[in-house]
């Protein structure tokens, strides 16, 4: 074709045809009005030496949402990965960064957020979550996982997570985070929080996959305008979910991988999802999200009716966190 004609056609072609939006571009709106990309990159257990590349690769291929936490001990490298992305021209305001308050800092919220911001090399995060509703002794025998002599977790019984929430509300006013939320909150814990909260949490990040749909939390949060973010969506390291018959059947029906089905499940439920990978090919593969129909979602929902609940992440705090599968 004549190059001038080709150029003319290219100029006249609307942007949505040249750059079609895919499911991985899906965004949800938080109760603050801010947009959160449905797909984010998880960074738990992403080892030093791997996570910087994982973050910068994710940003390069189009991720716009990174999930971090102080306790993961790798925020400095996550920050290096972000810096590399910014150096390549990606704007700070186009990346949604979440991080989390650790349990030994419940009575020192701003201090913990400052530590995370310093490591991440940021002036603000987009979302700051209370990682677990469990205050632990800030002056115990370990800065992150203090234990008592009998080996049990050294909890801070003088402090409550509702007090922590008040501190989080105060930190919101500083602008160091654009939104505040929670993680690992069951319905009874949310109800307790909401009795005193002035700010409704923007998000509740919970373990979520077909072995643990936690429908009662999803329903409660939907009613209150709290976005669910699904963690361990693939079932964490070495997950048996990939071998699950129903998941493989839905994958076969759409000619996609079981991973695509597991991630797309959350977007179909209106939740954001944060698969972790340090493997560049998987980081890219996990961007492939599809629109599941109601039959698919029903088939995935049905798995938990015949399969006992399987919670992969449950630290031994020795606290009843109110989850029905742990009663």
- Residues annotated as catalytic are 72
- Pair type for strands 272-273 and 227-231: parallel
A 10 A CB-CB count for 225 gives 12
Binding ligand NAP by CB under 6 A: which of 313, 318, 320, 326? 313
**Interface with ligand NAP in residues 175-194 (CB under 6 A):** 183-184
How far apart are CB 187 and ligand NAP at their closest, in Å? Answer: 17
Query: Which residues lie below 8 Å from residue 242, measured CB to CB, with a gap of 6+?
Result: 234, 235, 258, 259, 262
Give the residue from 64, 57, 60, 69 showing the smallest Cα distance to 38: 64
**Interface with ligand NAP in residues 238-277 (CB under 6 A):** 259, 274-277
Judged by CB under 6 A, the number of residues near ligand NAP is 27
Under the criterion CB under 6 A, does residue 234 sit at the interface with ligand NAP?
yes
How far apart are CB 241 and ligand NAP at their closest, in Å? Answer: 8
Cβ proximity to ligand NAP: between 11 and 311 the closer is: 311
Cβ proximity to ligand NAP: between 17 and 73 the closer is: 73
**Interface with ligand NAP in residues 100-139 (CB under 6 A):** 131
Residues 273-296 as b/e (b if ≥16 CB within 10 A, e otherwise) read bbbbbbeeeebbbbbbbbebeeeb
* Burial grade of 320 (CB within 10 A; 0-12, 13-18, 19 or more): exposed
Give the helix ranges, DSSP H, for 32-125.
Answer: 51-61, 75-87, 109-120
By beta carbon distance, the residue nearest ligand NAP is 42
How far apart are CB 4 and ligand NAP at their closest, in Å? Answer: 44
Query: Which residues lie below 8 Å from residue 6, measured CB to CB, with a gap of 6+?
Result: none
**Interface with ligand NAP in residues 31-50 (CB under 6 A):** 42-45
Query: Which residues lie below 8 Å from residue 73, measured CB to CB, with a gap of 6+?
Result: none
Cβ proximity to ligand NAP: between 8 and 314 the closer is: 314
Residue ranges binding ligand NAP (CB under 6 A) = 42-45, 67, 131, 183-184, 205, 231-237, 259, 274-279, 282, 285-286, 313
């Amino acid at each position: 074709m004549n190059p001038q004609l080709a150029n003319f056609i290219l100029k006249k072609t609307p942007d949505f045809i040249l750059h079609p939006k895919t499911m991985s571009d899906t965004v949800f709106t938080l109760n603050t009005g801010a947009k959160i990309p449905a797909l984010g990159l998880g960074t738990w257990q992403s080892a030093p030496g791997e996570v910087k590349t994982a973050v910068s690769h994710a940003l390069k291929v189009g991720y716009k949402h990174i999930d971090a936490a102080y306790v993961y001990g790798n925020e400095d490298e996550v920050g290096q990965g972000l810096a590399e992305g910014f150096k390549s021209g990606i704007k700070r305001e186009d990346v949604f960064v979440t991080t989390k308050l650790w349990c030994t800092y419940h009575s020192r919220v701003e201090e913990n957020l400052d530590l995370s911001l310093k490591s991440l090399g940021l002036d603000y995060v987009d979302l700051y979550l209370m990682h677990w509703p469990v205050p632990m002794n800030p002056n115990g025998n370990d800065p992150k996982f203090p234990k008592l002599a009998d080996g049990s977790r050294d909890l801070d019984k003088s402090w409550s997570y509702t007090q922590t929430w008040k501190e989080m509300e105060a930190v919101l006013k500083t602008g160091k985070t654009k939104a505040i939320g929670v993680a690992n909150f069951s319905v009874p814990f949310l109800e307790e929080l909401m009795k005193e909260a002035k700010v409704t949490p923007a998000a509740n990040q919970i373990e979520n996959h077909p072995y643990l749909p936690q429908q009662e939390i999803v329903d409660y949060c939907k009613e209150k305008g709290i976005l669910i973010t699904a963690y361990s969506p693939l079932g964490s390291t070495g997950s048996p979910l990939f071998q699950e018959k129903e998941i493989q059947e839905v994958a076969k029906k759409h000619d996609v991988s079981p991973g695509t089905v597991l991630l797309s499940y959350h977007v179909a439920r209106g939740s954001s999802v944060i698969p972790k990978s340090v493997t560049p090919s998987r980081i890219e593969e996990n961007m492939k999200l599809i629109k599941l129909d109601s039959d698919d979602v029903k088939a995935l929902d049905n798995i938990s009716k015949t399969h006992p609940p399987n919670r992969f992440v449950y630290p031994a705090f020795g606290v009843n966190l109110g989850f029905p599968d742990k009663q």
